[in-house]
Structure 1
């Protein structure tokens, strides 16, 4: 037969198989018998060399003798091997040494199939009955070790084994609504920069914010003029049917401006020649008209400062073609006195302010100088590494040189006057080296201060009574108005949240659009709200406060900042935080006043994104 085709040496004749089965039955009965002489429940097909309790080729479990109810032994499947015992339909059961099903590790693992196991058990024990009993026992044993936890979408549950060492897994009582933690952050930091555009997005519709009824718009304007603020519920079911919400939204869009030219947008003014190009400017060549405009502008500026001093106006902006000035009332921004921030500035403007007796400070330069002093002190104490000392010292020396140049001081390499070359005479080389003349020395000094111009570090802070001198300086400053170009003869733009003499009421433009955004493999409806115009800090806060209940605490916003005003968040070097200033009559919402009274933590940056999730704020700057 060895010469026949298709012959397999491992093939056994039926007679040999029956002889091996009887032999293994006798050997199993002798090896796996109990001490009392009773037969074991092991497979009759187990060989003598196999250890007790192991059946490598049989898919069925091994039951103890005590668990079996009758005679008979489980036969071995002669066609079973390692390759064909696996099936995707098989269930994995884990048995401990007592034969009970239990979830865990380090126990014997057996695989069962429904149909094959039922045939193999024969008359000894019903497979389905045993399987049901094992599953019930498994459920009882593991009920105290498992818990239900929320999945990521908070709508499905996962069954996980509880780990007493992990604080993240909690019982169902621990995830009840009553134990949910309060919002992490209910407010974002104050941002004193001017915004040119806001883009809000939310999964809920934002169409309620546009197309107000005539009565709603009139009520919003009236409430703004009378400084009346209503209360809204924590959550609104239908914002579009809430008239109070729509009126409050119209109220938050109002701002006041001078001068007002309907055919020209007077904000922004810096680098805005393109928006003025081609527009009619009858004042450009008419000297009498220019004087009339400046006279009216001076009256409006004086009116604003008087309101600011009386705490009836919280703040206002002066936007010229070269720089922007922010005036803040006492008590705002953490300062106990009236403050004014000017950015950007030039050497010529700072020298002109000095000539008028206006005392000012350079907060960012002063901050760098203090950091340099602390760094130098740390170097002397041996607390810094040598590479860090050289790098930080070079950065901070630049800011100190700016300060020294502006104040006319001589330190560092700015003291290269004629008397500083005495060391050349000591070396005897004074005739071989040409000394720079006084003009070169002066140009070198001025070069350090000129390099500061038009940079964020050039921001100037004026405080206290010097702000009144600054108002007079601005009224009489001839360089405040452009003498040539598209903005020639046009006074700076005044922006304020409240009314003042000569001002015109304006409203921001709001437009709502529904778009589809791809989330994974599906598209979701996203509603967006775009607001354009000179957006003041109080307007931004009021709008986000209204969106909080209307969108059920879920929305995000992209903020577009007027770049020259981002540095307005700089803190004064001499400010003192006080909370006793009464600004209740300034016309702002109490929540907005409370936010603007805090010291800004943004330094020379501005907010770019605001996100609210589950009534909790996060932001980027």
Structure 2
């Protein structure tokens, strides 16, 4: 554990745990957090009680945590732990929660995030750059792992996973999660080119943030549309307005734009939407299998130049799959001295870094609820391209939650974590940024 004076420490501890101001009111108050499907790159927890229990696990505790993860053991802790540092169950459960699975894996390369990572990667560390045979082997191996993950998802033995390319990220979710009764895949950000290629492969998809038949020019959340969304809808309105003029018998007196002009305008507006959150694509049901095959055969998902050239997309999963490597999120506790009226006081912090997936956020807050006696705060740092995964598209029908819960019991998650992931998303294009628990009640804001 580190003990530092805040005056000599970077401002990360000061900015991540700001006090709530009148203009920055928590979004809600509840005994549970809303589900957040974005990937976090960093979590910073602060508390008036130390996090020393998270440091220096014994060899036996580390081994037990790994075994608990592999056997999907559901650990239940008491409401409050008197001496967390001496609680073996807590320490083992913490080790268990830090584990995630990755493919491909190269010790000298950080494979998440992939979007915008070129400046952090060196082309010299990629031996496959000029070796087509090696690139083919990497891609063939990746295809096997990807197919394995999808099959686990289809049989509800994997709850969800991410495919991270250098241009976009895809979240695949099992039937029964996020309120859907079929497998879903959210893909963001997209471009007109990739959407056209998907259409040509017969993949049916929707743009959940674009209301195809809307006249109110509003999103489902009720806020104003972005420029690209407004234009896409205004073109539809324009075509409908000419139909109305025809019904009135005055269409000949109005100059109607020719079909080519309308088509060019639509194409321009589609391009304006590219790379933005509004370009998020939703694929459902059997179309997700077609998407799988499309991605396996799509050469454009792999960079052809730069440090990521020839490198297959990153697969991230909460559970093991064929060809996956077990990885650990990094955790460290820090004791920061902060200035108070009467001098200095201790501010205890626990920092988690790495690809933090939705199940971990829920698991670790369950542990902290017990270890910190129901009182802690957290700053959450989101990988921004994935924030839009919290969008809630219209649901076809209400799920039979009891049946779904039974079918997902073997997916490797704690029952309470699974309950949270079954919730209908409410955060829209936002994600959780700050969380505060006081007396076992959450306040949060996005």
Alignment partners' CA distance in 2, 1:232 and 1:268: 33
Task: Look up the SS of the partner of 1:372 in the other structure.
Answer: coil
Q: CA deviation at 1:478?
A: 1.0
Given that 2:61 and 2:88 are in contact with CA atoms closer than 8 Å, whether structure 1 keeps it comes out as: yes
Tell me which of 265, 274, 296 is aligned to 1:475. Answer: 296
Name the CA shift for 1:289/1:186 in 2 (closer, same or farther; >3 Å): same
Given that 1:371 and 1:396 are in contact with CA atoms closer than 8 Å, whether structure 2 keeps it comes out as: no
Q: CA deviation at 1:230?
A: 2.4
Tell me which of 43, 53, 57 is aligned to 1:208. Answer: 53
CA deviation vs aligned residue, 1:373-416 (integer Å, no higher than 9, x gap): 899xxxxxxxxxxxxxxx97xx58852643687xxxx6527999
Q: Does 1:598 align with 2:423?
A: yes
Alignment partners' CA distance in 1, 2:397 and 2:276: 26
Q: Does 1:276 align with 2:112?
A: no
Q: Does 1:399 align with 2:229?
A: yes
Aligned counterpart, 2:345: 524
Q: CA deviation at 1:221?
A: 0.3
Aligned counterpart, 1:490: 311
Q: Does 1:614 align with 2:430?
A: no
CA deviation vs aligned residue, 1:304-345 (integer Å, no higher than 9, x gap): 010001000000000000000000001100111110000001
Given that 1:368 and 1:399 are in contact with CA atoms closer than 8 Å, whether structure 2 keeps it comes out as: no
Correspondence 1:165-180 to 2 at 5 A:
none
Q: Gapped runs of 5+ residues in structure 2?
A: 1-28
Q: Does 1:505 align with 2:326?
A: yes
Task: Look up the SS of the partner of 1:534 in the other structure.
Answer: strand
Q: Does 1:412 align with 2:412?
A: no
Task: Look up the SS of the partner of 1:490 in the other structure.
Answer: coil
Correspondence 1:291-440 to 2 at 5 A:
291-366=136-211, 369=214, 371-372=216-217, 395=225, 399=229, 401-402=231-232, 412=238
Alignment partners' CA distance in 2, 1:530 and 1:373: 39
Q: Does 1:232 align with 2:77?
A: yes
CA deviation vs aligned residue, 1:509-553 (integer Å, no higher than 9, x gap): 001110112344543201101110001100111011001110111
Aligned counterpart, 2:283: 462
Given that 2:211 and 2:219 are in contact with CA atoms closer than 8 Å, whether structure 1 keeps it comes out as: no
Task: Look up the SS of the partner of 2:95 in the other structure.
Answer: helix
Given that 1:257 and 1:493 are in contact with CA atoms closer than 8 Å, whether structure 2 keeps it comes out as: yes
Correspondence 1:32-47 to 2 at 5 A:
none
Aligned counterpart, 2:25: none
Given that 1:369 and 1:400 are in contact with CA atoms closer than 8 Å, whether structure 2 keeps it comes out as: no
Given that 1:341 and 1:461 are in contact with CA atoms closer than 8 Å, whether structure 2 keeps it comes out as: yes
Given that 2:210 and 2:219 are in contact with CA atoms closer than 8 Å, whether structure 1 keeps it comes out as: no
Name the CA shift for 1:558/1:444 in 2 (closer, same or farther; >3 Å): same
Given that 1:414 and 1:444 are in contact with CA atoms closer than 8 Å, whether structure 2 keeps it comes out as: no
Q: CA deviation at 1:445?
A: 2.8
Task: Look up the SS of the partner of 2:419 in the other structure.
Answer: helix
Given that 2:179 and 2:395 are in contact with CA atoms closer than 8 Å, whether structure 1 keeps it comes out as: no
Given that 1:366 and 1:573 are in contact with CA atoms closer than 8 Å, whether structure 2 keeps it comes out as: no
| TM-score, length of structure 2 as denominator length | 0.85
Correspondence 1:533-544 to 2 at 5 A:
533-544=354-365
- What is the count of residue pairs matched by the alignment? 407
Q: Gapped runs of 5+ residues in structure 1?
A: 1-183, 376-390
Alignment partners' CA distance in 2, 1:246 and 1:425: 78
Task: Look up the SS of the partner of 2:127 in the other structure.
Answer: coil
| TM-score, length of structure 1 as denominator length | 0.62
Tell me which of 12, 23, 33 is aligned to 1:188. Answer: 33
Name the CA shift for 1:340/1:404 in 2 (closer, same or farther; >3 Å): farther
Task: Look up the SS of the partner of 2:102 in the other structure.
Answer: strand
Q: 4+ runs of 1 displaced by more than 3 Å? A: 370-375, 395-398, 413-416, 423-427, 435-443, 519-522, 574-577
CA deviation vs aligned residue, 1:272-309 (integer Å, no higher than 9, x gap): 10111354111111100110000000000100010001
Aligned counterpart, 1:265: 110
